[in-house]
Amino acid sequence: MRIHPTAIIEDGARLGADCIIHAHALITRHSVLGNGVVVHPFAVIGGDPQDLGFKTETESGVVIGDRTVLREHVTVNRATKPGTATTIGADCFLMATSHVAHDGQVGDRVILANQVLLAGHVHVGERAFIGGGAGIHQFCRIGESAMIGGLTRLTRDVPPYTMTAERDELVGLNAIGLRRRGFSATTIAEIRRAFHAVCRTVGNPRELAAAALASGDYPSPETQRFLAFFATGKRGFVRAHAAGDDGES
């Protein structure tokens, strides 16, 4: 473990093996860091949530997964309820000045580019990428392997394996990302069919996804995760402004 001069680690914080805490970083007593976590200068991990109703005596926390890197001025706020934690998964990369608000849940291998802002209770699935300057509304969900363009404004849920840009605009399927992840051509073709059945068809996405699941035409677990995403959540879903391709380039 390496702790640089002027870093502040409060009594009660827990750090795993081989962590690197750079100068002027603050790790509060509410923080749990896994093995190999790197925290760069002026990052604040485990600070109080930006919630006017929050009571500072609440025993909540932040949990950071193994090998995650938090660059300069990153802030991760602790949760609002006793016994709960804002969580960042393993092998994530949070670039400079990105922010994860209270009660957020970020999966493994997620990348947040510079100045990404996640509001409270946002859930981000594994291997998602969120471009620089994107702002995500509270309680939004971003599915696994989704790609969010830079400066995007999100107020709705983003299904797994898709690409979104601008203001809640569904661009298409993240087919290139799925190939890079190692999905087979057969699985990608099945996901594409499900994508068109739900996201390129007029109707209620929840009902369309439920009907697709019930049909038995989509047996792969990857496609079933895509369809199951539409059954939950508190917000609506991003939609295409006009019919287009499936994200191939």
Catalytic residues: 102-103, 120
Q: Which tokens go with 69? A: 């890197």
DSSP character string of 72-97: TT-EEEPPSSTT-EEEE-TT-EE-TT
The C-alpha atoms of residue 22 and residue 20 are separated, in whole angstroms, by 6
How buried is 207 (Cβ within 10 angstroms: 0-12 exposed, 13-18 middle, 19+ buried)?
Answer: exposed
- Collect contacts of 202-210 with beta carbons under 8 A, ≥24 apart: 205/230, 205/237, 205/239, 206/230, 206/231
The C-alpha atoms of residue 156 and residue 70 are separated, in whole angstroms, by 26
Q: How far is CA 84 from the centre of its chain?
A: 18
Q: Which tokens go with 217? A: 């035409």
Q: Which tokens go with 5? A: 């001069």
Q: Which tokens go with 110? A: 């997620």
